[in-house]
Amino acid sequence: MPKAPALPGTRPVLITGGAGFIGSNLADRLAGEGHDVLIYDALSRPGVSTNLDWLKQRHPRRISATIADVRDTASLEAAASEASAVFHLAAQVAVTTSLVDPREDFDINLGASFALLDALRRRGERVPLVFASTNKVYGDLGDVTLDLLGDAYVPRDPTVRARGVSEDRPLDFHTPYGCSKGAADQYVLDFGRSFGVPTAVLRMSCIYGQRQMGTEDQGWVAHFILRALRGEPISIYGDGCQVRDVLDVRDAVDAYVSAWRRIDEISGRAFNLGGGPVNAISLRQLLAHIGDITGRPVETHYADWRAGDQRYYVSDTGRAVRELDLRPARPWREGVAALAGWLREERAAPEHAAEHASA
């Protein structure tokens, strides 16, 4: 496996949204490998300050932080000016929030991403940027014919059923969130083509794992577990048979680090990142497993489908596995049980259980 690019002097790796769920796991990995890491985060979501404290305690000589909003262009450009590489994870992450305030969603997801890309372009150096995109760039997949098999939707097309949705799928932005993330996704790729900024895009499905304290709108695996551990009901939008592929955050971090290591080979390209067909589960299947873990059925309430919700999305991870040299993803039952154990230990106190860290 190629080695991560060497840091010139003490120039840090910049992680926007670095105190969030995926960002803090990525920062922990990089700092543990001996890299200086600059966390850029507004700490606006409850719980993320705890993640930053955890990082500083584990890596006091490697972790530094800029506490600022990504819409603060001057602060963002200052952070980018000293970075040796950038992982751009900061975002407005909820479809529901984008429908309430589409302008804020635009400014955070697209405006800030453009400002960051342009700051790297104007440096005139080949500073790599790896961008956290989303499966929502493919729209609601309403043209994929589905059959209901037990408690899960499955595609009628045998190829899609066996492999999932590939990067060859036409883009189709739905909801303001889909538009802002999708447009940023395309800007990242084009700055690689047009200006030679080494960039790569990872279109993520559902990532779960330690340091995730999910909410109803984002981080649903952890959200379901937390509610179940507290004996509280869970709201399901739709019939609960919608399917997603889930990926342990440790495997996601492997992909981000590998994309950086291989940036010269993959620049200007997008990869679907998820658990793939072997880790595809419906909401009902996850709830049943959580019931087995907690020893009691999970109380559920049902409501109407939400705008832009996909009844089925599973990543075709073949391109990512081949070109990023990824090992097989952890089995979802094993990973979910591990997350439940971590949440039980770390969030046992009532005041902690109510916190929600960013995704």
Active site residues: 177
Residue 112 CA: distances (Å) to CA of 77, 200, 230, 284: 10, 17, 37, 37
- Measured from the Cβ of residue 353, the count of other Cβ atoms closer than 10 Å reads 16
Task: Report the SS3 class of residue 274.
Answer: coil
Range 74-79 contact pairs with CB under 8 angstroms and sequence separation of 24 or more: 75/40, 76/16, 76/40, 76/112, 76/115, 76/116, 76/119, 77/115, 77/119, 79/14, 79/16, 79/38, 79/40
Q: What pairs with residue 301 in β-bridges? A: 235
Yes or no: say if 358 and 222 are a contact pair by the CB < 8 Å rule.
no
Q: For strands 269-273 and 280-282, give the pairing.
A: unpaired
User: What CA–CA distance (Å, rounded) separates 277 from 246?
Assistant: 9
The kind and range of the H/E element at 187 are helix 175-195
Neighbours of 6 (CB within 10 A): 7
Q: Which helix (H) or strand (E) holds 302?
A: strand 300-303
d(CA 235, CA 302): 6
